Structure 1
Amino acid sequence: MIKQQAVNNKFKLNLILKITQAINENFSIEELLKQYENVLLEELKIGKIAVFKFNTKWETILVSGVSDTYINDIKIEKDLSCYNEITYISTDFPKHLQSFDFLIPVHHKTSVLAYILIGDFDEEMEGMSPAIKHLSFIQTISNIIIVAMENKRMYKELLAQEALKKEMELASKIQNILIPNQNSLPQNQYIATQGYYQPHFEIGGDYYDFINFNNQELGFCIGDVSGKGIPAALIMSNFQATLRALFNPETPLDQLMHKLNKKVCDNSSDEKFLTLFIGVYNYTTRKLKYINASHHPPLLYNFKTHETTHLKKGCIGLGMLDEIPKITIGEITISNHSKLLCYTDGLVELERGEKMEVSVQFITNLFSNQKNLQDTFFDLRRHINLGKKNKAVVDDISLFGIEFKA
């Protein structure tokens, strides 16, 4: 008897060693599951097995010796989740579970990772059934295998998260290169400029740009793709390349908008659209031509008259319709010392509880004063930082300003 027990113990230790070696040798989840199935079927002579494991949802990962019909009828939450320890499956259980003899939950910390159902082929066999004989051992190796599988899944998920993080960091660096930094913004005897860019996530769907066409003309724009994150950033990066290729002083702004609209329609899904403000300023004539495509109207403040003008003329947003039905080109002569503020909706839409507050008037008041552009932007950035601190900022924020010198 003692000798037989020693033989059995050695047999089980060898099986555990075989499994742990497979784990240490970094077998795949599929290979570990095959090892587990082989131990139960071939070594322990278990007749029926069903293994249900929770990943993001409950999945059936192993079935042997029983009809799929019974398995398909099993509802984890209803039939199994109330059991936290090894349970004998009696006639009180639902009929589709009575093909099995025991239910074995597999725990990891405070949660259940898996449920194992086991049973014998021959209900009338002589001697002790394998399911009863090896019950505790099956629980042990089940815990080893399932926890190892979970660790591998979590490690794989961690690697994927790290890879995504690196990709996002790279995308963020690339996007920051595409967005003009303060040192590259135009500064000359005619104008001074300021810019600010803050994506809600690591990358976003906002964009602004300046293009020096020649010694007399400056092109500039600001845009905002509906939505946030990677999809919006991809559309915007494609749009930036298109705009840079098409935007020039020889192409009238209304023709440019038709071309840009076609590109946005071709390159984005139906639910995505883009708002845009685009302008061309002539240093010599001091004329500003612009089109506002459903963007927040930029603010133009006149230092001499103290008047603030909202630049609204334009058309619908890009990508809203296959063809833009009507485009109005705005034109204004900036005869006095003035400053312009262009911004995306993240600047004015702040979340307060369950409500969204649009504080256009607050921004107008903050901008429409005798402060120069640099000091004005200091006030605007302080407003943004306060919103970030209070977690009220829920969208990408971009803004740029131009101070037209007297």
Structure 2
Amino acid sequence: MIKQQSVNSKFKLKLILKITQAINENLSIDELLQQYKYILFDELKIGKIAVYKFNSNWEKLLVSGISKECIDKIKIEKHLSSISEITYISRDLPEVFWSFDFIIPIIHKNSVLAYILIGDIDEEMEGMSPAIKHLSFIQTISNIIIVAMENKRLYEQLLIQEAFKKEMELASKIQNLLIPNQSSLPQNQYISTRGYYQPHFEIGGDYYDFINFNDQELGFCIGDVSGKGIPAALIMSNFQATLRALFRPETPLDELMVQLNKKVCDNSSSEKFLTFFIGIYNYTTRKLKYVNASHHPPLLYNFKSRETTLLKKGCIGLGMLNEIPAISIGEVTINEHSKLLCYTDGLIELERDDQMEVGVQFLTNMFATPKNISDTFTDLIHYIDIGKKNNAVIDDISLFGIEFKTTHM
């Protein structure tokens, strides 16, 4: 008897070492399952087995020795969710289990990771049933195999996440190159500028730009693609390249908008569109021509009169329709000391104390002050806490400001 127990112990130890070696060799999940199946069927003489494992949902990992008709009747949430310990399948349990002898739950980190159903083919065999004889050992090796599979899955998932994270970091760096940094913004005797950009995720669908056409003319724009994340960023990156290729001071703004609308329709799905504002300012004539394509109207504040004007003239958003029905070009002569604020909707949809507190009027009041554009931006960013750790941010945020100087300043 003692000798037989010793033989059995060595036999089981050999199998555990074999499984451990397979795990250490980093075999695939399918290869581990084949090893597991070999041990149960060929070494332990188990006749029937079904393995269910939970990933994001329940999956059948292994089925053998049992008909598909029987397996298809088993519904994990309905039939197995209440089982948390090894259970002998008596006639008190649902009939769907009667082809098996035991249910073995695999517990990992206080939750059921898998269910193993085992049974013998020959119910009339002499001597002890293999399922009963090796029950504890089957639980042990099942636990080793299933946990190893789970660890392998989590590790592979981590690798994918890390690779995705690196790709997103690279994409973020590339996109940031498309957004002007403060050192590259135009600063001269005619204007001062400030800009700010913060995507909700690593990359986003907001965009602003400045283009110095010549010594007399400055082009600028701001846009916001519907949605967030990668799809919006791809559309905006493509749009930025298109705009840079088409935006010229000699091209009328209404013609430019027609061309841009066609490109957006060609390059994006029907549910994606852009709100967009574009302008050209002439330093000599002090005239600003613009088109607002359903974007939040920029604020133009006159320091002398203390009046704020909303720049609303324009058309529908780009990509909303295949053809823009009508386009109005706005024109403003800025003879006096003034400042302009262009922004995306993320700025006025910041949450503070669980309330949508930062609205257009609130923003207007903050902007309509005697402070220059640099100090105004410092106050804006500080007051509404536009920081990367600010949990109130629910969308991409872009804003830029231009201060129009006078010759006697």
TM-score interval, smaller chain: over 0.9
Counterpart CA distance in 2 for 1:43 and 1:267 is: 60
Q: Which moved more, 1:350-359 or 1:133-142?
A: 350-359
Cα displacement string for residues 67-86 of structure 1 (whole angstroms, at most 9, x for unaligned residues): 11111111111111111111
**Structure 1 residue ranges without an equivalent (≥5):** none
Q: CA deviation at 1:3?
A: 1.4
Q: CA deviation at 1:351?
A: 3.1
Question: 1:319-398 to 2 correspondence within 5 Å?
Answer: 319-351=319-351, 356-357=356-357, 359-385=359-385, 391-398=391-398
Q: Which SS does the other structure have where 1:180 is aligned? A: coil
Q: CA deviation at 1:305?
A: 1.3
Counterpart CA distance in 2 for 1:164 and 1:387 is: 24
Asked if the contact 1:350/1:387 (under 8 Å) is kept, the reply is no
Counterpart CA distance in 2 for 1:113 and 1:285 is: 73
Q: CA deviation at 1:224?
A: 0.5
Counterpart CA distance in 2 for 1:355 and 1:60 is: 46
**Aligned residue number for residue 30 of structure 2:** 30
TM-score (norm 1): 0.98
Q: Which SS does the other structure have where 1:236 is aligned? A: helix
- Matched to 2:375, the amino acid is D
Q: Which SS does the other structure have where 2:301 is aligned? A: strand
Counterpart CA distance in 2 for 1:179 and 1:390 is: 21
Asked if the contact 2:198/2:388 (under 8 Å) is kept, the reply is no
Asked if the contact 1:225/1:274 (under 8 Å) is kept, the reply is yes
**Aligned residue number for residue 135 of structure 1:** 135
Q: Which SS does the other structure have where 1:51 is aligned? A: strand
Asked if the contact 1:207/1:223 (under 8 Å) is kept, the reply is yes
Question: 1:105-254 to 2 correspondence within 5 Å?
Answer: 105-254=105-254
1:11 aligned onto 2:11: yes
Q: Which moved more, 1:376-385 or 1:344-353?
A: 344-353
**Aligned residue number for residue 266 of structure 1:** 266
Quick one: structure 1 residues 272 and 358, their matched pair in 2 at CA, closer, same or farther if it must change by over 3 Å? Answer: farther
- Matched to 2:82, the amino acid is C
Counterpart CA distance in 1 for 2:51 and 2:353 is: 45
Q: CA deviation at 1:391?
A: 2.5
Quick one: structure 1 residues 354 and 377, their matched pair in 2 at CA, closer, same or farther if it must change by over 3 Å? Answer: closer
Cα displacement string for residues 62-106 of structure 1 (whole angstroms, at most 9, x for unaligned residues): 000001111111111111111111100011122221000000000
Q: Which moved more, 1:251-260 or 1:384-393?
A: 384-393
Counterpart CA distance in 1 for 2:389 and 2:140 is: 50
Quick one: structure 1 residues 390 and 172, their matched pair in 2 at CA, closer, same or farther if it must change by over 3 Å? Answer: closer
Q: CA deviation at 1:383?
A: 2.4
Asked if the contact 2:100/2:118 (under 8 Å) is kept, the reply is yes
**Aligned residue number for residue 58 of structure 1:** 58
**Aligned residue number for residue 87 of structure 1:** 87
Q: CA deviation at 1:22?
A: 0.3
Alignment coverage as a number of residue pairs: 406
Question: 1:269-288 to 2 correspondence within 5 Å?
Answer: 269-288=269-288
Asked if the contact 2:51/2:62 (under 8 Å) is kept, the reply is yes
Counterpart CA distance in 2 for 1:248 and 1:276 is: 17
**Structure 2 residue ranges without an equivalent (≥5):** none
TM-score (norm 2): 0.97
Q: CA deviation at 1:8?
A: 1.1
State the identity as a percent.
79
